[in-house]
Amino acid sequence: MTVKVRFFARFRELLGTDIPAEPEEGATLLSLVRDLARKRKEGYDAIFDEHGNFHEFVIVMRNGKRVEHGDAAAVRITDGDEIAVFPPVAGG
């Protein structure tokens, strides 16, 4: 199974973007992003809190649809998924 994970803005600077991943069968959205973010401590700390949960300001999407943080541990990754992880958006 192959999926693509895209980190944006500050997260992209820390972890890269358009990352192909081959998660194990049964992997969840939360576990996939955790595994990729662990490659760089600063990136992990920017996305996750001390309990391994997404910081409240992180926006996570699967195939263009937002996933609530409370659901991320239950959302199973499937072949071809595109995951996007955004920091808070500000502007005017």
Q: Tell me: the pLDDT tens digits for 9-46?
A: 999 999 998 999 999 999 999 999 999 999 999 999 99
- Prediction pTM value: 0.92
**CATH code, domain with 59:** 3.10.20.30
What's the structural domain count of the chain?
A: 1
Residue 90 predicted with pLDDT over 70 = no
* C-alpha–C-alpha distance, residues 52 and 19, integer Å: 21
* Any domain includes 23: yes
Please check whether residue 12 lies inside any domain of the structure: yes
In a domain, 24, yes or no: yes
Write out the residue range of the structural domain in which residue 39 sits.
Answer: 3-86
Residue 91 resides in a domain: no
Q: Would residue 92 count as lying in a domain?
A: no
